[in-house]
Chain A
């Protein structure tokens, strides 16, 4: 698995032939399959695009996993396994990655798929003319010249990727990125068919026009209603695919989706069972409510440039007083875990450190919090007032209300402020807040996807917390290829967060959805929620 490759890198060039061949629908013996293999999934909304380089958000990434396939894919546990590439080798310095494509790969129109298609797609991703949001993905991977191309200083042809021959794709990075292969499950790195994109322009993603390389091909797309795909007979592993047709419904409202599931119109909902219905559903349909861990953190951030939040005693006191267990048990109750570190425990290759105060009783935490507040000069006689900002949403509101109650014993007075999503983002971006709700979901399965956003120069570090030691540790970690060794750096970084508390981690997110009992092969342990329809099957019912 992924770890195998990265651990073995020190032995110079290795071939990844020890990896399991591929994930496909793994139907247990004796299972009777339904004669009609069709799946209807809720998609939680309309995707911004179906063009791999232009996709934004999960509404686009979910269908893209069926339509396209990148160099690698993930197994049911989120481990990296070969996709279009059957093997790869990594240079000793973790900077040059060479991928060997499978033999006989084809686009859905029968044209051969070559390493040149990957070169085309990656150049397209950073080309200023594409204006792709995810162009930054190749920047954080430090693919050679990516930033200069985005800045318009170099031509896309100078990107550090090349096709050594039709089946060999080579990537050169500026800096070592030990988890680079893990990053390639992301849709922005999927290949796109040059021969179609150049001929049809923006219209290439329409049904009838789209040529793809995944297990399914697009057959119908009604904006705001449905995206329908059928099996791609030219997909390299088509013989192991079971489901013939899959539809994604663009239903944004969780309640509407729930009604349609209840009416028998959906087999698998999008994530996020409405909290108010969760308990009754769990009682009513215990084997249909599935809850799986997710690589996402829910937290509050301090604007560390605004006093008194520049004082770590105040930050720590406020964090200590937030009894996460009350929130996860009474407000959410869907299996979310209380969070004391920023990186969720579900991340692969690293166990976030045990935090001492996590095991304290609430009295102990409150006593320490009061002590710290008094030390910082606040208490019942000199109460601290806080403006708590969140985006308009019932669940965020409930949590904010509970938190403000939990702070009461500290003599803290809270004013709650909610703003519409884009207004909220704008306010946060401009630093016009004291404390704000935040959430972050990892882009790839490595702790750096979380920890990086607290780097001093990171665009996501809205609380403007700067810590030189933290930056140094994370930058050094990039030089370490070995997962276990690198994990030690992550642990040190995490301990700095615990000590400095620039954020209050509240809980670790989970994926909750409704799944009909006859949908087989559902991955219960993929923390990035990567679901490939080709691995599922419909049991006779």
Chain B
């Protein structure tokens, strides 16, 4: 197991390096610069700004500067937010997205898996149809529709929850964004879970269980749930990264100071260092959680131990 982890992480370094290199040059290739504004700066003013951020140097030199800083864990100054470094911006916003994401994730997994299981066991009953119709709505409803609708109903009309803001993560500020995030992922999980549960329930060894006269509860929790979770787990790895790195839509609608907004704003502002920092973060997290999923797979299903 340990060897496996070390190997996976060692392989991650060249992957990340390729990612950084590609992003670095792609970002620079985008038209305009961080300092293009609606007002054309006089060349002498622009020259000073570019010098401050090393943009006056040749591209390869900028790239080496960046790698040097990166090796020291320094993601550089933000080009847009002049009072902060990228490390500080990520340090402030990432914990917020993690907190929101974790809560949403727990709800997603518990309810998604439960709904999917119930639908599978009551296959083709009205319960199944209701759950799956709702899940279909959840899958097709984009978050930019769902989130404002939640705000309209629960904040503007009913006044139960605030329409936005974070205030250090008070529970009342989390209810609507968590609901909006959870509903979207929950729907997908419920559908995957249902499909895989149905498949497992029809497999020969479950039939054997039935033949042995095991009680239904025993069959589901002891024998069926674990293998049925496998497709869900493989979906959860990347989904988890997506959920904790925030959603630009949810954060924009609810005014949450998380990391998700930076993905879009960073690119629109041509905030080179911020975009690169985020790319590395998401890249590293994706690699990490894909590895974790592989391990979890082994734990759930002894047939696919990682050593094999």
Listed in ascending order, the chain A residues whose CB lies under 8 Å from chain B are: 46, 48-51, 54, 56, 128-129, 131-133, 135-136, 139, 147, 150-152, 202-203, 205-206, 222-226, 249-253, 255-256, 259-260, 262-265, 420-423, 425-427, 429, 439, 459-460, 462
Q: Are B162 and A263 in contact (CB under 8 A)?
A: yes
Closest residue of chain B to A202 (Cβ to Cβ) is: B83
Residue of A with least CB distance to B38 = A425
Bound Cα distance A447, B39 (Å) = 17
**B253 engages A425 (CB within 8 Å):** no
* A135-B48, A136-B42, A263-B159 as given contacts; A253 in contact with B253, CB under 8 Å: yes
Q: How many inter-chain residue pairs (CB < 8 Å) link A and B? A: 139
Instruction: Please report the C-alpha to C-alpha distance between residue A440 and residue B42 in the assembled complex, in whole angstroms.
Output: 17
| Residues B22-50 near A (CB distance < 8 A) | 30-33, 35-42, 44-45, 48-49
Complex contacts, B52 vs chain A, CB 8 Å:
129, 131
Given contacts A150-B44, A263-B159, A263-B162, 4 further A-B contacts (CB under 8 A): A48-B82, A255-B148, A260-B163, A425-B38
In contact, A48 and B80 (Cβ under 8 angstroms)? yes
Say yes or no: A133-B37 contact (C-beta < 8 A), given A128-B48, A223-B81: yes
A250 vs B40: C-alpha distance when bound (angstroms): 26
- Distance (whole angstroms) from the CB of B152 to the closest CB of chain A: 7
Question: Is A259 touching B155 in the complex (CB atoms < 8 A)?
Answer: yes
Which among B230-238, B254-262, B290-298, B299-307 touches the partner chain? B254-262
Q: How far is the CA of A427 from the CA of B32 in the complex (A)?
A: 8
Checking A46, A135, A139, A260 against B164 with a beta-carbon cut-off of 8 angstroms, the contacting residue is A260
Q: Whose C-beta in chain A lies nearest to the C-beta of B158?
A: A263
Please, how many angstroms separate the alpha-carbon atoms of A387 and B175 in the complex? 48
Is B179 part of the binding interface, using a Cβ–Cβ cutoff of 8 Å?
A: no
Nearest CB in chain A: distance from B55 CB, A: 11
Residue of chain B at shortest CB distance from A440: B38
Please give the distance in Å from A265's CB to the nearest CB on chain B: 6
Q: How far is the CB of B154 from chain A (nearest CB, A)?
A: 9
Chain A residues lying within 8 Å of B93, measured Cβ to Cβ, are 223-224
Are A222 and B257 in contact, CB atoms less than 8 angstroms apart?
A: yes
A231 → chain B, closest Cβ, in Å? 21
Q: Across the two chains, which residue of chain B brings its CB closest to A203?
A: B83
B41 lies within 8 A of A249 (CB): no
Judge whether B286 is part of the interface by a CB distance below 8 angstroms.
no
Bound-state CA distance A421–B165 (Å) is 27
**Residue B180 at the chain A interface, CB threshold 8 Å:** no
Q: Closest Cβ of chain B: how far from A280's Cβ, in Å?
A: 14
Contact B164 A136 (CB under 8 A): no
The reply to whether B148 and A423 form a contact with Cβ atoms under 8 Å apart is: no
Cβ B255 vs Cβ A136 within 8 A:
no
With A54-B82, A224-B261, A425-B37 already in contact, the answer to whether A262 and B163 are too (CB < 8 A) is yes
- Chain B residues numbered 148-179 whose CB sits less than 8 Å from any CB in chain A: 148, 151-152, 155-156, 159, 162-166
Tell me how far the C-beta of B252 lies from the nearest C-beta in chain A, rounded to whole angstroms: 5
- Closest CB-CB distance, B248 to chain A, in whole Å? 11
Specify which chain B residues have a CB less than 8 angstroms from the CB of A51 in the assembled complex. 82-83
Q: B203 at the A/B interface (Cβ < 8 Å)?
A: no
Are A425 and B32 closer than 8 Å at their CB atoms?
A: yes
Given A128-B51, A251-B164, A422-B31, verify A136-B41 contact (CB < 8 Å). Answer: yes
Is residue B15 contacting chain A, with contact meaning CB distance below 8 A?
Answer: no
Set of chain B residues within 8 Å of A224, measured between Cβ atoms: 93, 257-258, 261
Complex CA gap A54/B151 in Å reads: 36
**Contact mask B62-104 → A, CB, 8 Å, 1/0?**
0000000000000000001111100001001100000000000
* Contact status of A265 and B42, CB under 8 A, knowing A51-B83, A133-B37, A222-B92: no
**Bound CA span A342–B168, Å:** 47
Q: Chain A residues near B261 (CB, 8 Å)? A: 224
Tell me how far the C-beta of A426 lies from the nearest C-beta in chain B, rounded to whole angstroms: 4
Chain A residues, CB < 8 A from B137: none
CB contacts (< 8 Å) of B32 on chain A: these are 422-423, 425-426
In the complex, which residues of chain B have a beta carbon less than 8 angstroms from the beta carbon of A423? 30-32
In-complex Cβ contact of B45 among A135, A206, A222, A421 (8 A): A135
Cα-based distance from A224 to B155 in the complex (angstroms): 21
B268 within 8 A of A: yes
A129 vs B52: C-alpha distance when bound (angstroms): 7
Counting from the closest, the 5 A-B pairs by CB-CB distance are A422-B32, A459-B40, A263-B163, A225-B257, A224-B257
**A42 to chain B: closest residue by CB:** B255
* B38:A133 contact, CB within 8 angstroms: no
CB–CB B164/A259 < 8 A: yes
Query: Which A residues are in CB contact (< 8 Å) with B48?
Result: 128-129, 131, 135, 150, 152
Q: How far is the CA of A260 from the CA of B159 in the complex (A)?
A: 11
Decide yes or no: A225 and B36 within 8 Å by CB, A54-B82, A265-B165 being known contacts: no
CB distance from B265 to the nearest CB of A (A): 8
The answer on a CB contact under 8 Å between A133 and B30 is no
CB contacts (< 8 Å) of B31 on chain A: these are 422-423, 426-427
* A46, A150, A260 — most chain B CB neighbours (10 Å): A260
Name 17 interchain pairs, CB-CB below 8 A, sorted by A.
A46-B81, A48-B82, A54-B82, A129-B52, A133-B41, A136-B42, A139-B45, A150-B42, A150-B45, A224-B258, A249-B165, A256-B252, A422-B30, A422-B31, A429-B40, A439-B38, A462-B40
